[in-house]
Structure formats: structure tokens, C-alpha cells
Amino acid sequence: MKKAFPPVVHSDSKILILGTMPGEKSLRLQEYYGNRGNQFWKLLFAIFNYEPTHDYPGKLSLLKTHRIALWDVLEGCEREGSLDSNIKNEVPNDFTGFYKSHPQITHVFFSSKNAAAYYDKYVGRREGIAYDTLPSPSGANATMPFAQKLEVWQQKILPAL
């Protein structure tokens, strides 16, 4: 059973971005979106006009500055490789406890359709929280060019701040 990471969240976090489950490279590095082929960090740095860095504490600082929390829908699963389509025997994270500890979260953005599907299956949408799905930042999602992903991410995330 592969285990996900604890949430990156602060007392003033307003936005929660949810992935499905960390990929192999992320698990090895013990970093959210650790695979450099994934565009997650590149998108966030571009949205806020920051100089990109590979420094993980610098990435986490960006989240804190902009009141963004980060977590995954699944606490654990069995999976060969990094593709969501290979997930088996999934176990969801404790969102009841999370929302009780962090009632200031007003927006949840899913970083993929799969994350949204697992959330809907195991958690369900809560009243008082706005939900939306972003184009996947995964390198495997080559159907949309980076500039178009960035435009959508900006249009959805910036008004939520």
C-alpha cells in the first residue's frame, strides 16, 4: 500500500487544491508534484509572477503566501507506476476531520478529473464550499498546451483569492 502525504495547510488557507495520489517520483522525493514533467509548480509560479524554483521550501512558501492548501483525495492505494488508471484498493483521506480543523476553506480545486471523481465517490460536495476542476498539470495530459492551461488556472484561482 502506497501512502500519500499529510496536507500542506495553514490557519489562513482559503483554497484547497486536491490531487489524486502522489506519483512514483513524488513519493521518492517526498514532495508534492515532485516530477519535473508535471506542470503544477510551473503553473502556480506563472499565475503569481514568481521566478520558478526547484527549492521545495520555496514552493511551499508560495502556497502559504497565497493562502493555498495542498492535499490528495486518497490517503493510500495500491498502484503500479504513477497513472491514476492503475489505482486499486484506494482509501480516502479524512476530509471530515480536515474541514473541521480548517473551516476557513472556501474553494476546492481538483487538479484532475480523477481527483474530482474519487472525491465525489468517497467524500461528496459540502455546502458552503465552491468546487471546480482544473486542467490536469500532468505531463501525461498533452491535450492542452501550457499557455491554455495557465489561462484556465488563472481564470479560476485568482478570483477565489
Catalytic residues: 38
**Within 10 A of 65 (CB to CB), how many other CB atoms are there?**
11
Cell triple for 135: 486542467
Of 1, 6, 4, 18, the C-alpha closest to 105 is 18
End-to-end C-alpha distance for the chain, whole angstroms: 36
**Within 10 A of 96 (CB to CB), how many other CB atoms are there?**
10
**Within 10 A of 64 (CB to CB), how many other CB atoms are there?**
14
Of 67, 69, 73, the C-alpha closest to 124 is 73
